[in-house]
């Protein structure tokens, strides 16, 4: 029996699981707009990302703060370009994963997406048909909390009507998010290699 046969509900992270990770090229393009070294940009990008993802910071506040730390200035055109590049960088869909979602739905599994993401990415994603693959979607900017805080997992479980148990599987590329799910009693797996994970589950 395949491992997935013992699972009733699956909860998927978004970035690094359903879409390809943000590339060095993506970061280089944004760093160029800010006229800052890529290595420095990487640190600045992630420093307050959680606050942006849970809507404590607007896009303008987030990017202008990065610009201040990079000792540069952003006009409206540069700000809009950074938002565009950032959003685009997180929409490189892994079609093998989305095809598998279709297989799971046809097999009667309940599916959810649980992701830390800012409003601009979420709104872009809602303009596509991708979220139709899920029974329930939890996005951090809408609920004002981010993984690995327990409340966002509990919100997702309630919406999916799934228990925190071995028959509910959570997939995420970040180990701290996997561990937080496990602490709540959810079966969890770190997603590092798509082919390996699908082999394990199928």
pLDDT 10s digits, 92-120: 999 999 999 999 999 999 999 999 999 99
Q: Quote the pLDDT of residue 1.
A: 65
- Whose structure tokens read 């009507």? 161
* pLDDT of 9 strictly over 70: yes
pLDDT tens digits for range 150-196: 999 999 999 999 999 999 999 999 999 999 999 999 999 999 999 99
CATH number for the segment(s) 3-21+94-201: 3.40.50.1000
- Whose structure tokens read 């937080």? 180
Q: How far apart, in Å, are the Cα atoms of 163 and each of 2, 160, 181?
A: 21, 9, 12
Looking at the chain, the domain(s) classified CATH 3.40.50.1000 span: 3-21+94-201
- Do the beta carbons of residue 135 and residue 111 sit within 8 Å? yes
The pTM is what?
Answer: 0.96
């Amino acid at each position: 029996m395949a491992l997935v046969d013992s699972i009733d509900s699956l909860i998927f992270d978004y970035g690094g699981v359903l879409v390809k990770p943000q590339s060095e090229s993506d970061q280089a393009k944004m760093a160029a707009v800010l006229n800052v070294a890529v290595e420095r940009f990487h640190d600045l990008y992630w420093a307050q990302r959680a606050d942006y993802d849970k809507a404590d910071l607007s896009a303008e506040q987030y990017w202008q703060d990065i610009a201040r730390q990079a000792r540069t200035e952003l006009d409206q055109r540069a700000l809009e370009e950074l938002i565009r590049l950032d959003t685009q960088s997180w929409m490189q869909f892994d079609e093998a994963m989305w095809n598998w979602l279709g297989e799971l739905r046809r097999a009667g599994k309940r599916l959810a997406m649980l992701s830390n993401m800012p409003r601009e990415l979420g709104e872009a994603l809602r303009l596509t048909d991708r979220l139709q693959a899920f029974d329930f979607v939890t996005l951090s900017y809408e609920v004002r909390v981010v993984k690995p805080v327990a409340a966002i997992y509990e919100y997702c479980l309630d919406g999916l009507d799934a228990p925190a148990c071995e028959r509910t599987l959570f997939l995420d590329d970040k180990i701290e998010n996997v561990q937080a799910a496990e602490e709540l009693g959810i079966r969890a797996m770190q997603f590092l290699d798509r082919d390996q994970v699908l082999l394990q589950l199928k």
